[in-house]
Structures are given as C-alpha cells and as structure tokens.
Structure 1
Amino acid sequence: MTLWTDDAAPGQPYWWDGIDWVTPEGALPARCDLLVVGAGYTGLSAALAAHECGASVAIVDAADPGKGASTRNGGMFGAHPRLGWDALAQRFGAQTADALFAEAGGALDWARALIDREGIDCDLQQTGRIQLAWTAKHFEDQKALAQTLAEKSSVKAHVVPREALNQEIETRRYFGGLVFDEHCAIQPAKFHQGLMRAALARGIPIIAHCPVTQLERTGATFAATTPKGRIKADKVLLATNGYTAKPFVWHARRIFALPSYLIATEPLAANLIGHLAPGRRMMVETRARHSYFRISPDGSRILYGGRASMVNVDMQTAAKRLHATMCDVWPDLKETKLSHVWSGNTGYSFTHMPHVGADRGLHYAMGYSGSGTVMAPYLGAKAAYRAMNDPRGETGYSATQLTRHWMQPGTRPHFLHAANLWYRTAVDWSENLKSR
C-alpha cells in the first residue's frame, strides 16, 4: 500500500491549510513597560492582559509568530491536573494540590470567555474528551480520579465501563474510560490567529524574526538586544515553552522540548467515522505512548498524534509509526492513506506540571507538559497580571516548581535518546503485556 495521497505534503500541518495568516505589524520600540518574548498562545494572551492593565507592551518572536506548537497541536481544549491529587500533594504539598484541583475548571471557563470576548472563530465545539484506559489498573485509577475531581474541583467527569465503551469508540483495545464532559475541540491555528488580531487591534507591536540574543539587567530595567535593535523594558515576560533557548539558560535547563507527531487521514466516509468514533469526542490514552486522536472540525478525517519518537525523526518514519498505532486501535483504517504528517515541540517540566514565576522582573509561564491549549493562554495572562501587580495574577501554579534534573546538566536534553530507546522497548512492551 502507498502511504500517501497524491496531494500529500509531509511536514505541513493539517491546520495550516487555507489559513489566512495575519501579518505581524509594528516596529521595535525603543522602550516599553513589558517586553513579551514569544508570540504563541502564552505571549499573546500575556500581552492582552498587560495592555488591559494599562501597560505599554511589545512582543518579539524568534521566527514566524505561532508557527510553533500553537498552530501544530491537536486542538484539544481542556484543563485538568496532569497528576493525581496524591502525586501533587507529595511534590508540592496538600494546600497546593487542593488549589490546583480547584483551579482546573476555572481555567477552561476563562479560556472560553476569552474566545467569546474577542470574537475568535476557531471551530470551538464542546465535544467532551475521553481518556481511554489501556490497562485494568489504569481504569481503577480513573475511577479514583473521578471521585477526587468530584470532591475537590468543579470539573465534570464521569466513568465509562468497558461494556459501554462501544458508545464512545469502536475498538477492543481499552478497559474503560473517563469522560471530561466540558472539554472542547478547536482549530488551533485559527485560535492563534484570533489572538494575533486581538493584539494588533490594540496597537501592540508584534515583531517577527526578532530573537532576543542578549538580555541585560541594569537596576530596575532590562535592555534586550535583537537583530532589529535594542529595546529597554521595565519588565520582561518569557513565553517560549518548548522553544526556549539562549540567552534564557536558567529556564532552558528546566524545560525540555519533547517532539509530538501527528498525522491526518485522507477524507473518510461519514458512516465510517460514525462507526469508529460514535461519541465524536476528543480521545486520549493512558499508556505511555501518549496517543491522542480526534475527528477533524469538518467531520471528514481522523487526526492522530502521539509518541512516534522522543527525538526528531524524519516525517516518513513518524508517519509509518503513527499509522501502525492508529490501525492497532482501528484495524478498519489499515488501507487508509495519509494527507499530512507534522510535528511540534511540547515543553515539558521535570515535575510534569506548568509553573508561573519571576526573577527580579523577569516573569515566565511554561512547562505545560502537553496541556498547553488552555493552560498557555490562561497562565500567560496570570504571569502578566503578576508582572503588573494585579491581584488577578493569583494562581496555584505559582506554587509549583521548575526543577533541574541530573539527566540534563546543560540546555540540551541529550537524555531523550536513551529515554526513547527505553520507552520503545521496555515500557511499551510492559504496558502491552498488561493490556491483554
């Protein structure tokens, strides 16, 4: 079988098809109150929040704004703690665990309100998201999580037993699932472009291909050197997540870029999609392979993502691996061709939790660890409010941590090569054995 359709464009995200890209506008000013580094979800949302507080803001981006993870992700729009309450309490204390669970529902509400307020057309659909249990133990953990969510948060979730799972997905692969009823689907590139338009409408300059190559702190102000000149700022907000690099060495040692790969199928018959995914939800797995999949906004394709590799591989290799994994879940797709394959960097922290923090006027929000579609704009705004000394900046994510790990002594995650081999052999083998 030929893997590709005749018009396939490997490397090109499905989300970029037909996008009317917003052109960055404005020159680098000599001075501003807040300099935002990075024009993805985090940076644009931070700029809007700071502007609301009356600050003069400028945004710089090392490349084309948004053409990193913000327009390459799966478009799954929801927020819940990535770790269970016990794990959060062990790492950060019971008080912080309670705060993070309490904040989870509010983050999604806030992000939906942002879309409504700015009139962003991003194909928002409240589909719900189902987390599919790869093993019987995973399903028991899901039942415990559902109980904790009911006790400690406003997140609406319900358990689906294995015998009822065919109402959600047609496969024999899973032991049950946990549905997050209020989670949504979006077209991520449209969401980003809507944030761009909102920032430009407020007169906030967005300067592309303008990396910060040097950042100096003099007294209470900063001076940033870029290829397009120098700019002074009272405060700086770092919004680079999985694309963090020098001169932000402190942060780059605490965040590692983990590539995530996605494929899009050719258009499929509506009755086939209805058969495979009758629940029409966002779908994710509990296994370490981290597969996540969904129906495209127009209802015509399956978009399937996950760990094709923990290091960069060529698009052909990534596509073959994801196609094989997809067909393991849905054997009916064995002869289905692909129209797209692409990748983007997720920014992982070693605690697997995002963090909002500051160092003498250098503010940051990062480490979303695969949950950035809601958490990036939400925590970007929180970081900006904190920079402006606005009480709306209060968040439990300021009590998490960005920690270093001995496996990454520098700024490059060389340990991922060994981790990739370990996961592709021992971890996947062990989880597959437990799934039988």
Structure 2
Amino acid sequence: MTLWTQDAEPGHPYWWDGIAWAETHDALPEKCDLLIIGAGYTGLSAALAAHDCGASIVVVDAGDPGKGASTRNGGMFGAHPRLGWSTLARQFGAEVADALFDEASSALDWAKDLIAREDIICDLQQTGRIQLAWTAKHFKNQNALAQTLADKSRVRAHVVAREDLAQEIATERYYGGIVFDEHCGIHPAKFHQGLMRAVLARGIPVIAECPVTGVERRGSTFAAATSRGRITAQKVLLATNGYTTDTFAWHARRVFALPSYIIATEPLAANLIGHLAPGRRMMVETRARHSYFRISPDGTRILFGGRASMVNVDPHVAARRLRATMCEVWPELKGTRISHSWRGNTGYSFTHMPHVGEDRGLHHAMGYSGSGTVMAPYLGAKAAYQAMGDARGQTGYSQTDLARHWMHPGTRPHFLHAANLWYRTAVDWTENLKSR
C-alpha cells in the first residue's frame, strides 16, 4: 500500500488548507517608535501591546508573515513549566522558580483572554493535554510533578494510572500519564490570522518579504537596513525565535533552530478515532523522541509530530519515520495513508526556557523550546511593554538566561548532526529498553 494519499502535497502544512491570508503592506515607513522584526505570534502580540502604550509600530517579516512556526506547529495551547521546580531553582534560584510556576497559569489565562478580546476564531477547544509516561520512572516523576504543581502553582493537573489509561488512549505503550486539565487545542493558522487582522485593524503596517540586513545604533535611536529600504526606530524588538538569522549573531549563538516534523493522516472513520483517543485530548510523550499527537479540530484525522530528525530531511523521509512511530503507538493505523508532511523550526535555548530581555538596546522574546503557542504571544507582549518602559513587562522570564554553550560557537547549529546520530541510536535504544 502506498504511503501517500492521491492528493498529497509533501511539504505543505495541513493548517494552510483553506486559509485566506491577510493582505500585507508594500511600502516601508521612514520611521516609527518601535520596529518589530518577525510577524509570527511573538511579533504580532508585541505590536498589539505596544500600540496600547500609544507607540507607532512597524512590523517587518523576512518572508510571508506567519508561515514559520506560527502556522506549522501542532496547535497545542497550554503553558506548564517545562522543567521541574528543583531544576529551575538550581539554575535560577528558588524565587525565580516560584515566579515561573506561577506564570504558567497566568500565561494561559492571558492568552485565552487575548483570543476572546480580539474575537479570534481559531477552533479553541479546552480538551486538556495528557503527557504520557514512556517508562515507569517517567510516571514516578509525573506523580512528583503533580504534587509540586499543587504546592507551587495554580495549574490544574491530575495523574492517570496505567490501569485507567484506556479512558484516554487505546495503546499498551505507556505507564500512565499526567493531565493538564486547562490546556486546549487550536487551529494555529487561524490563530495567527486572527492576530494579523487585529494588528491591521489598528492601522499597524505589516511588511512581508522585508528581511532586515543590519541594525545600527545611532545615539538613542536605531537605523535598520532592509531589502525595501531603511527605517529609523526609537526601539527595536526581535521576534524571530527559530528563524533568527546571522544578522543577529548574539541571539543566533544562544537560540538555535531545531526542526519539528508533523504528518496528517487521511480522513479516518469517526468510530476509529473515538476508539484510538477516547479522551480526545492533546497528547505528548515523555520520551526523548518528543512525539506529540492530536485529533484535528474537525475530528477527522490524526496529526502526529515529533523528532523525525534533528536536522532537515526530506518530507518523504520524515513521513515514513513519523508514520512508523505512530503505528508503534496505534498498530491499528498500519494501513493508513498520509495526506500531509511538513516541518517548522522551534527556537531552542540551552536552558530549555524562554527569555525576555535586551542586548545593547535590542529587545527580544525567544527560546520557547517547544512551548511557543501560548508563551510566544504572552512573552511577546511582555517584551513590548519592557521596550515601552511599561510596568506590565515584569516577568520571571527576564530572570532566566540565554546562555551560550561550547558546542555552539557560531551561529549555525552544526552540533545537531552529531546530536541527531546520538539520539537516533543510543538515546532511543536506551529509552526503548527501559520501557519494556
């Protein structure tokens, strides 16, 4: 049986089907109060926040706005601490760890309010998200996390024992799980286009195909060179995350692009989907393969993502690998064909935590490390408020760190080739052994 459906378009995201893209501007203004580089979730949310402060805003994007990670991700809408409290306390101190745990709930509430306030229609569904334990040790860690969340945050979570897991997912692969009850699913491209329309409705110009080739500080202002001319700005905010170029070398040495791959199945029978995922939640794994999967918003397909490779590979190769992993979880899908296979860049920091701050006057929010659907708009607004000198910019994510690592001395993450080999052999083999 062929891998692909007859109308498959490898490389084309499922989320782009049927999307009416908002029109952008052609002319680059000569000056503004705040120049925002990048028109994804971070940049558009920053534009809305800065506009609320009374600033004049210009948003530029090197390509088509949103056609990076903002419309390529899995549409899993939630924010919980990516690292445990003790790890955060060890890296950044107990006070910062407490603040980050507290903001996990605040960020999700803020993002939901943004959707309601701007009347964004993006298939928001409060499905909850379950993190599935690949090994017995992972499940033990989840029990500890649930207790820490109860003690340190307002995040609602509960543990599901292995014997009860059939209520969530039809598979024998996992040892249990932890459910984040308030997490949601969205259609990421519709969310982005909703943000775009909110920005454009405020008269904020968004210029596509306008890469910034240099930023020069001139006293208290900045002069930015772009493919469409030069613009002078009082402040500049970098919102490029996993698409940061060599022009911004300081940031590119601290946040590196890690590809994430996703496939969509052909339409499946409703009773099959109900059997495979009776909990109908967003689903992620604890193993280092970082598989994540969900039902499409219309309830007809399985979308399955993860680490097909840590470097760029052909969508045909990625589809075969992801489909094989999907069939490990659900053997019933062995005869299922694939309609879409695509990738997008996540922006990873070496601490696995986002950061909001500035370097030599250039403000930024980035390093989401796979948690950008909520954290990008939330921290984009925080970065904008900081640039504007507004007290609402206060966040624990300014107390994290964009650290460098000896493995990444330049701006291109060549170390990922070695890491890819290591993970595909030693790490995956070890985790599979421990799961038995």
The two structures have a TM-score, normalised by structure 2, of 1.00
Deviations 1:218-262 (A, max 9, x none): 111000000111000010000000000121000000011000000
Aligned to 1:81: 81
2:420 counterpart of 1:424: no
Aligned to 2:90: 90
The amino acid that maps onto 1:309 is: S
Provide the secondary structure at the position in 2 that maps to 1:213: strand
Residue 165 of structure 1: how far off its partner (Å): 0.2
The amino acid that maps onto 1:282 is: M
Residue 362 of structure 1: how far off its partner (Å): 1.0
Inter-partner Cα distance in structure 1 for 2:359 and 2:263: 39
Deviations 1:175-221 (A, max 9, x none): 00000000000000000000000000000000001011011001110
Aligned to 1:178: 178
2:14 counterpart of 1:14: yes
Provide the secondary structure at the position in 2 that maps to 1:305: strand
The two structures have a TM-score, normalised by structure 1, of 1.00
Contact 2:8 / 2:338 at 8 angstroms: preserved in 1?
yes
2:232 counterpart of 1:232: yes
Aligned to 2:296: 296
Q: Map of 1:36-435 to 2, 5 A cutoff?
A: 36-435=36-435
Contact 1:234 / 1:361 at 8 angstroms: preserved in 2?
no
Deviations 1:250-299 (A, max 9, x none): 00000110000000000000000000000000000000000000000000
Inter-partner Cα distance in structure 2 for 1:361 and 1:116: 33
Contact 2:65 / 2:208 at 8 angstroms: preserved in 1?
yes
The amino acid that maps onto 1:421 is: L
Segments of 4+ in structure 1 off by > 6 A?
A: none
Provide the secondary structure at the position in 2 that maps to 1:416: helix
Inter-partner Cα distance in structure 2 for 1:245 and 1:413: 12
Inter-partner Cα distance in structure 2 for 1:396 and 1:180: 21
Aligned residues: 436
Aligned to 2:25: 25
The amino acid that maps onto 1:194 is: G
Contact 1:221 / 1:235 at 8 angstroms: preserved in 2?
yes
Contact 1:306 / 1:322 at 8 angstroms: preserved in 2?
yes
Contact 1:38 / 1:65 at 8 angstroms: preserved in 2?
yes
Contact 2:13 / 2:341 at 8 angstroms: preserved in 1?
yes
Inter-partner Cα distance in structure 2 for 1:58 and 1:355: 23
Inter-partner Cα distance in structure 1 for 2:68 and 2:89: 33
Inter-partner Cα distance in structure 2 for 1:409 and 1:358: 20
Inter-partner Cα distance in structure 2 for 1:82 and 1:163: 26
Residue 28 of structure 1: how far off its partner (Å): 1.1
The amino acid that maps onto 2:30 is: A
Inter-partner Cα distance in structure 2 for 1:135 and 1:33: 52
Query: Where in structure 2 are there 5+ consecutive unaligned residues?
Result: none
Inter-partner Cα distance in structure 2 for 1:234 and 1:199: 20
Inter-partner Cα distance in structure 1 for 2:26 and 2:95: 44
Inter-partner Cα distance in structure 2 for 1:153 and 1:117: 25
The amino acid that maps onto 1:278 is: P
Inter-partner Cα distance in structure 1 for 2:210 and 2:377: 21
Provide the secondary structure at the position in 1 that maps to 2:256: strand
Contact 1:364 / 1:383 at 8 angstroms: preserved in 2?
yes
Inter-partner Cα distance in structure 2 for 1:233 and 1:377: 22
The amino acid that maps onto 1:156 is: R
Inter-partner Cα distance in structure 2 for 1:389 and 1:150: 34
Inter-partner Cα distance in structure 1 for 2:247 and 2:305: 32
The amino acid that maps onto 1:413 is: P
Residue 359 of structure 1: how far off its partner (Å): 2.5
The amino acid that maps onto 1:377 is: P
Provide the secondary structure at the position in 1 that maps to 2:344: strand
Contact 2:26 / 2:208 at 8 angstroms: preserved in 1?
no
The amino acid that maps onto 2:228 is: K
The amino acid that maps onto 2:99 is: A
The amino acid that maps onto 2:246 is: K
Residue 26 of structure 1: how far off its partner (Å): 5.4
Contact 2:357 / 2:364 at 8 angstroms: preserved in 1?
yes
Contact 1:213 / 1:246 at 8 angstroms: preserved in 2?
no
